[in-house]
Amino acid sequence: MTEPADAATRRAPHDQPFGPWVQTTLTEGWDPEPVTGHPAVDGAAEAAAAHRAALLRALPGRTVVVPAGTAPVRANDTVYPFRAASAYTWLTGDQAEGAVLVLSPAGEATVFLLPSAGPGTLTYFTDRREGAVWVGGIPSAGATAQRLEVAVRPRTELASALAAAGDVHLLAGVDADVDALRPGAASTELARALDRLRAVKDDWEVDRLAEACAATARGFADVVAELPALLAGDGRRGERWLEGTFWRRARLEGNDVGYSSIVAAGANGTSLHWAPVDGDIRPGQLLLADMGVETTSMYTADVTRTMPVSGTWTPVQRRVYDAVREAHLAGIGEVRAGNAFLAAHRAAQWVLADHLHRWGLIDWSADDALHEDLTRPGAGAHRRYTLHSTSHLLGLDVHDCAAIEGAEYLATTLQPGHALTVEPGLYFQVNDRTVPAELRGLAVRIEDDVVVTDGAARVLSDALPTDGDDLVAWMASAQG
């Protein structure tokens, strides 16, 4: 394994020294470096320009500073793959590590790039961060300026540019070195303004989300196609195999997975964010798979399907599944312009509470369970088995626009362009004495990605069926 490009390694390299003759010869005999990274995404520059204009209208008279960030340390001198801060990508269409956007009050956008060393310099060959031999083809400042349609300057000039700026609003917590250049410039107002604007997607962004969902559907088909072989073998740590199967699709068609995939078989599905992903795949289990492809433009899908690994439902599994699907459809029906963000949650939770009451798991009616007065007996009785909210915003981040304060976030009135998930679920823990034995260890969640329109919600992930019969037929088709 080669050593990574991080600051600690640069301070204490373990390389053997180069003599003067070698240093001279290493700078000779090079053709121009081919540029291989940071692919252009059609329409990204135009979309980013519109996003910057919207931010200027929201925060007039300010100099805005938004860093891309740097790769976090994984362990010692190794780092995780770099992923640019979402706000930086939204405003630039770029993903360059260490880059910083400075947007003047007049709307002049400048991206400050880390230096890169090209052919003809010793650094090209020796430097783990700046040398293209180590990190791959690095676009020049000119190529970056042309692709992003903004001015580009070296990051070495950032300090002087910020010192000369007036009222600076900095998106802090992304790049500590940038934070240190203007102490006191950290702006909560900027963070919230960015996320309020990002909450409503334009047509270009919706198309990117649709691409993510289409790739995700193909990834689900890849996973389902692996099930017969796992069941024919010993199924040992099959969750890991399926996780890797989906990851390959994400890396082939996009940037990566949008979040750590949840691949949970059997009772593991009752853990909402099943992190070990190391369980076996056994006949008769349900597989709860919560996965999403992040596109090269950085927009991510977030889709969940719960499937019988053997291709057929047991009566108990189907009863629970159909209850969750009924709640899922009720929630999607409430995703429309003018409705409250929480309307989908309330509709889905009412259906689930009603089923739980009719099954004898809660003593109170759905109306009692969902009563607004939380001090009343029975209020929230269903939550023992439903566990989580039904929706969250979706976009460049899987849990998008988190800088919006909780009360404001939940009080959102939906408008065309809002993108969100609808994902009700029922979870019956193996150690819950209130649950009959036949239900213990069962978990079902169904999640789709939807966009608010002027009419009915647009379901971006509908290539993956949710009807119980259609789902097993789709599984059979995916398995050939």
Six-digit token pair at 445? Answer: 């969640």
Contact 382, 362 (CB under 8 A): yes
* d(C-alpha 28, C-alpha 31), whole Å: 9
19-28, 186-195, 227-236: range with lowest mean pLDDT: 19-28
Q: Which fold has domain 7-198?
A: Creatine Amidinohydrolase; Chain A, domain 1 (3.40.350)
Class of the 203-478 domain? alpha beta
- The confidence band for 5, taking pLDDT boundaries of 50, 70 and 90, is very low
In DSSP notation, 400-449 reads --TTS-HHHHHTPBP-TTBEEEE--EEE--TT-TTS-TTTTT-EEE-BEE
In DSSP notation, 225-255 reads HHHHHHHHTT-TTHHHHHHHHHHHHHHHHSS
State percent of the chain over pLDDT 90: 85
Backbone angles phi, psi at 128, to 5 degrees: -75, -15
- In the block, residue with structure tokens 């692919």: 39
* Mean pLDDT score across all residues of the chain: 94
445-474 burial, b for 16+ CB within 10 Å, e for fewer? Answer: bbbbbbbbbeeebbbbbeebebebeebbeb
> How confident is the model over 234-276, as pLDDT tens digits?
999 999 999 999 999 999 999 999 999 999 999 999 999 999 9
Q: What pTM does this model have? A: 0.95
Q: At what angle do helices 343-358 and 315-333 cross, to 10 degrees?
A: 150
What pLDDT was estimated at residue 26?
87
> How confident is the model over 209-230, as pLDDT tens digits?
999 999 999 999 999 999 999 9
What pLDDT was estimated at residue 37?
60
Cα distances from 479 to residues 22, 224, 252, 288, 472, in angstroms, run 57, 7, 20, 18, 11
Ranges of beta strands (E only) in 328-407 are none
Counting beta carbons within 10 angstroms of the beta carbon of residue 12, is it exposed (0 to 12), middle (13 to 18) or buried (19 or more)? exposed
- Total residues found in the chain within this entry: 480
* d(C-alpha 115, C-alpha 122), whole Å: 14
**Strand, coil or helix: what is 452?**
coil
What are the residue boundaries of the structural domains of the chain, listed by start?
Answer: 7-198, 203-478
208-218 burial, b for 16+ CB within 10 Å, e for fewer? Answer: bbbbbbbbbbb
* d(C-alpha 323, C-alpha 359), whole Å: 11
